């Protein structure tokens, strides 16, 4: 693809938009950037870019482009993009633009939950194997920044959100990972089916020479790529885990708790997906074990803080919605004392009750939603309500038997008592480390 002399319009002045602008400039395009915000948002654009702050849809209808590049935070199907697309020859996103100028191997990763951890695992393995393996896309740095490097890596771990997948056309993952699917982002998509269709675009350009790594039991359309399955339920899958060990074709290849700092069935799925993807690129199992040794997950995602008196303390503060709470509970292999609560968002937590009954020995609720949550959860497990996170931790410690897990997985946002899930998780980590 040649952009020499072409008119490229960038919508959105965030990091993704800036990277796309820089790449288009490098390829000889005339570049303009448009944003609904004021001039301060556009100040970090490359100096050669023509800037258009405070740009509404009415201006977009008069813009002619050879290529319109839309940032993922902007609704692809909304009126703003539609206005700029009126006189645009093609509409794509920054990830698609970068893919057209990248010549290495791509492992593309999508799913409703677990994308970031899996992307980190893939990146770590690729790096250890000498392939570079930068983490990019929806996590890490924009893909276009990778392409702009003097010596781009031989392979990338490319996390892809549904928003980014909406605008791909030619992006071709050598390996595509489908972790899982659950309803989400219904503030952007009219139906669950529309959200699912966006994610399925990951497989559209694959051929029989490529690999699709898929959780067993997922209902997917026929795929052109060669499929490899992983599971924590179906032992006939090529990759299987009971949450403690990882098996490939029936042979144990990794001890999760011994070889990594990861815990839970959901993290076992992430590890299996990453290993299956990297094996498809020819990386030996022994090299993968070396790469994963001592790996710890990103903060606030079932992060093991410490083990004290036989009790594990996990920080899953990133669980700001009901589905994330259910996923964290489902993944546990030890008895759980759950810490849940925060801002009351009007959610119905009834669906959690069967999991609480199966997985938890006790529950401590805190924050604005503490009392109604305690009253609901008491139908499934012994529960008590307190005010603060510190109160909740001390109550949980008294309730947690040897061999159990104290799990902070709030199931709602933190804005009643904290500035965000990061502050809530950091506070929990500090409190746990102060226990004696």
Q: Is the confidence at residue 184, as pLDDT, over 70?
A: no
Domain that holds residue 150: 97-292
- Per-residue pLDDT, 73: 85
Domain boundary among 89, 111, 136: 89
Same domain, residue pair 108 and 18: no
Segment 261-278 shows an average pLDDT of 91
Q: What is the CATH number of the domain that holds 264?
A: 3.40.1190.10
Residue 173 lies in a domain: yes
Q: Is the confidence at residue 188, as pLDDT, over 80?
A: no
Alpha-carbon distances, residue 314 vs 25, 264, 311, 419 (angstroms)? 46, 10, 10, 20
Same domain, residue pair 145 and 282: yes
Q: Is the confidence at residue 33, as pLDDT, over 90?
A: yes
- Per-residue pLDDT, 341: 96
Segment 303-327 shows an average pLDDT of 91
Q: Give every CB contact of residue 94 below 8 A, 6+ residues apart in sequence.
A: 16, 17, 19, 20, 69, 71, 72, 142, 143, 144, 164
C-alpha–C-alpha distance, residues 379 and 411, integer Å:
18
Q: Provide the number of structural domains found in the chain.
A: 3
End-to-end CA distance of the chain: give it in Å, rounded: 62
Residue 1 lies in a domain: no
- Per-residue pLDDT, 240: 98
Residue 427 lies in a domain: yes
Residue 263 lies in a domain: yes
- Per-residue pLDDT, 95: 98
Same domain, residue pair 380 and 405: yes
- Per-residue pLDDT, 330: 86
Alpha-carbon distances, residue 267 vs 230, 245, 296, 361, 410 (angstroms)? 12, 11, 11, 22, 18
Confidence band, pLDDT 50/70/90 cuts, at residue 399:
very high
Q: Which helix (H) or strand (E) holds 403?
A: none
Confidence band, pLDDT 50/70/90 cuts, at residue 183:
low
Q: For tokens 């199907």, what's the residue? A: 77
Same domain, residue pair 277 and 133: yes
Q: What is the CATH number of the domain that holds 66?
A: 3.40.50.720
Same domain, residue pair 74 and 160: no
Same domain, residue pair 31 and 110: no
Q: Is the confidence at residue 185, as pLDDT, over 80?
A: no
Residue 298 lies in a domain: no
Residue 348 lies in a domain: yes
Express as a percent the part of the chain with pLDDT over 70: 99
Same domain, residue pair 76 and 175: no
What DSSP string runs through 41-103? HHTTS-TTSEEE-S--HHHHTT-EESEEEE-TTS-TTSHHHHHHHTEES-EEEHHHHHHTT--
Q: Is the confidence at residue 199, as pLDDT, over 70?
A: yes
Q: What is the CATH number of the domain that holds 421?
A: 3.90.190.20
Residue 297 lies in a domain: no
- Our CA dihedral for 282, 219, 317, 274, rounded to 10 degrees, sits at 0
Confidence band, pLDDT 50/70/90 cuts, at residue 331:
confident
Q: Is the confidence at residue 262, as pLDDT, over 90?
A: no
Segment 280-284 shows an average pLDDT of 98
Alpha-carbon distances, residue 203 vs 84, 99, 121, 168, 213 (angstroms)? 28, 15, 21, 11, 11
- Per-residue pLDDT, 186: 65
β strands within 173-274, DSSP E? 175-178, 211-215, 226-231, 239-241, 245-248, 251-255
Same domain, residue pair 201 and 311: no
HSE, side-chain direction, 13 A CA sphere, residue 428 = 36
Same domain, residue pair 76 and 116: no
Catalytic (active-site) positions: 115, 138, 185
Other Cβ atoms within 10 Å of 74 Cβ, number: 18
Domain boundary among 262, 292, 322: 292
At 57-105, the pLDDT tens digits run 999 999 999 999 999 889 999 999 999 999 999 999 999 999 999 999 9
Average pLDDT over the chain, rounded to whole?
94
Same domain, residue pair 275 and 185: yes
Residue 429 lies in a domain: yes
Domain boundary among 54, 71, 89: 89
Same domain, residue pair 85 and 202: no
Same domain, residue pair 339 and 373: yes
- Per-residue pLDDT, 263: 77
C-alpha–C-alpha distance, residues 247 and 241, integer Å:
6
Radius of gyration of the chain (CA): 23
């Amino acid at each position: 693809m040649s952009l020499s002399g072409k008119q490229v319009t960038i919508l959105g002045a965030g990091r993704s938009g800036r990277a796309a602008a820089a790449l288009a400039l490098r390829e000889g395009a005339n570049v303009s950037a448009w944003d609904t915000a004021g001039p301060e948002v556009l100040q970090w654009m490359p100096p050669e870019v023509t800037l258009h702050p405070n740009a509404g849809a009415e201006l977009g209808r008069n813009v002619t482009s050879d290529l319109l590049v839309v940032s993922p935070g902007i609704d692809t199907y909304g009126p703003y993009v539609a206005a700029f697309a009126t006189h645009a020859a093609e509409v794509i996103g920054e990830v698609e633009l970068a893919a057209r100028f990248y010549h290495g191997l791509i492992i593309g990763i999508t799913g409703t939950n677990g994308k970031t951890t899996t992307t980190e695992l893939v990146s770590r393995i690729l790096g250890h194997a000498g392939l570079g393996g930068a983490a990019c896309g929806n996590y890490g740095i924009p893909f276009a920044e990778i392409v702009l490097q003097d010596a781009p890596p031989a392979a990338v771990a490319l996390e892809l959100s549904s928003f980014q997948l909406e605008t791909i056309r030619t992006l071709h993952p050598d390996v595509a990972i489908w972790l899982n699917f659950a309803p989400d982002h219904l503030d952007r998509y009219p139906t669950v089916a529309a959200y699912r269709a966006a994610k399925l675009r990951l497989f559209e350009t694959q051929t029989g020479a490529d690999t699709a790594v898929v959780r067993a039991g997922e209902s997917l359309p026929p795929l052109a790529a060669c499929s490899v399955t992983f599971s924590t339920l179906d032992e006939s899958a090529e990759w299987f885990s009971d949450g403690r060990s990882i098996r490939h074709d029936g042979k144990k290849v990794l001890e999760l708790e011994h070889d990594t700092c990861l815990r839970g069935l959901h993290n076992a799925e992430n590890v299996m997906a990453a290993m299956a993807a990297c094996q498809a690129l020819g990386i030996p199992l022994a090299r993968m074990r070396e790469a994963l040794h001592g790996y710890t997950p990103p903060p606030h995602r079932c992060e093991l803080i410490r083990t004290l008196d036989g009790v594990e303390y996990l920080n899953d503060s990133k669980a700001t919605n009901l589905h994330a709470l259910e996923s964290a509970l489902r993944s546990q292999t030890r008895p759980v004392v759950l810490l849940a609560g925060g801002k009351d968002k009007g959610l119905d937590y009834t669906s959690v009750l069967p999991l609480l009954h199966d997985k938890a020995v006790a529950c401590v609720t805190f924050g604005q939603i503490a009392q109604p949550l305690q009253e609901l959860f008491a139908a499934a497990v012994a529960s008590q309500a307190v005010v603060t996170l510190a109160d909740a931790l001390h109550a949980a410690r008294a309730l947690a038997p040897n061999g159990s897990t104290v799990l902070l997985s709030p199931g709602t946002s933190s804005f009643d008592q904290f500035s965000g899930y990061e502050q809530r998780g950091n506070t929990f980590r500090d409190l746990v480390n102060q226990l004696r």
